[in-house]
Amino acid sequence: MALVYKNRILVTMSDQNEKKLNHLLAGLGDTGVVSSRWLRAHGYSSSLVVRYVDSGWLVSPARGVYMRKGGSLQWEGVVWTLQWMEGLSLHVGGRFALAWLGHEHYLRLGEAAVITLYGPDRVPGWVRKLPLVEGVEYCGKGPFDLPVPSLTDETSDQTLLNQGLERREAVPSRMLVCSTPERAMLELCAEASDASGVYEVDALMQGMATLRPKRLEVLLRRCHSIKAKRLFLALGERHRHAWFSHLSLDGVDLGRGKRSLVSGGRLHPRYQITLPGDLDEQLG
């Protein structure tokens, strides 16, 4: 009788483990990864994870990280894990967001792609151990004093847009949160620190004919980087896009005094920021 009872317990435990495995594999899909921390927090013991690996269900692309065997390690899956499974407030922004939005032909040639992540939560150490094609750069909170929304389904698209963020489909049925072009441009302006950075922003600005002035006004008011705002406005004015004439700067703090990005450059008469004198030549 005791043996029968014990066998029933073992069968029940086996069924539970199988359900847990199926749930995990379905959640990971073909591109997702999962950390040891997440597994422990959701009831997957170390011995159970070892069993999954030994049985050929999971593989470990880096220490403390797992994915479905036969899956494809892609940056989209890693960022999806950070946002949705780990629950971290990290969005794709700046340079990489603009490349993802289709402006990669304006970015620096010959450089390996780098995923630029922004937000108050730091990138876990295991991310940089993954053998991704792309590099990963954590850029901090960025140049805004905006509220930090949750990146889950519970947050509406409008709430994200109010912060200059939007959802984009990364892989089938997987949505990632990234900066809108307006926010990404200001994030990139904040990162510019030399002539090459200004050349890059200027080349991108040339193609930014469809920015939305109302969204820009909100972001400019909540941007705390004087340099980013002045650079953005100086280059926006330079390219004479239609949206620029509809942009109101009421309530936008542009600071006082001069700002120098490059030595020996030209001081913009309106925005008082020094820019390279050869911008036209750089555009070709």
Q: What does the alpha-carbon distance between residue 130 and residue 65 come to, in Å, rounded to a whole number?
A: 8
pLDDT in tens, 175-228: 999 999 999 999 999 999 999 899 999 999 999 999 999 999 999 999 999 999
- The model's confidence at residue 262, banded by pLDDT at 50, 70 and 90, is confident
What pLDDT score does 16 carry? 66
Q: What is the mean pLDDT of the chain?
A: 88
- What percent of the chain shows pLDDT beyond 90? 70
Q: Are strands 273-275 and 165-171 parallel, antiparallel or unpaired?
A: unpaired
What pLDDT score does 3 carry? 40
Q: What per-residue string of b and e applies to 173-209 under the rule 16 or more CB within 10 Å gives b?
A: ebbbbbbbbbbbbbbbbbbbeebebbbbbbbbbeebe
CB 130 within 8 Å of CB 33 = yes
Number of helices (H), then strands (E), in the chain: 11, 11
Burial of 6 (0-12, 13-18, 19+ CB in 10 A): exposed
Q: What does the alpha-carbon distance between residue 243 and residue 212 come to, in Å, rounded to a whole number?
A: 7
Cα separations (Å) of 131 from 56, 72, 82, 125, 144?
20, 11, 16, 13, 32
What pLDDT score does 18 carry? 80
Least confident stretch, 20-24, 86-90, 206-210: 20-24
Half-sphere exposure of 197 (CA within 13 A, CB side): 19
Residue 7 has pLDDT above 70, yes or no: no
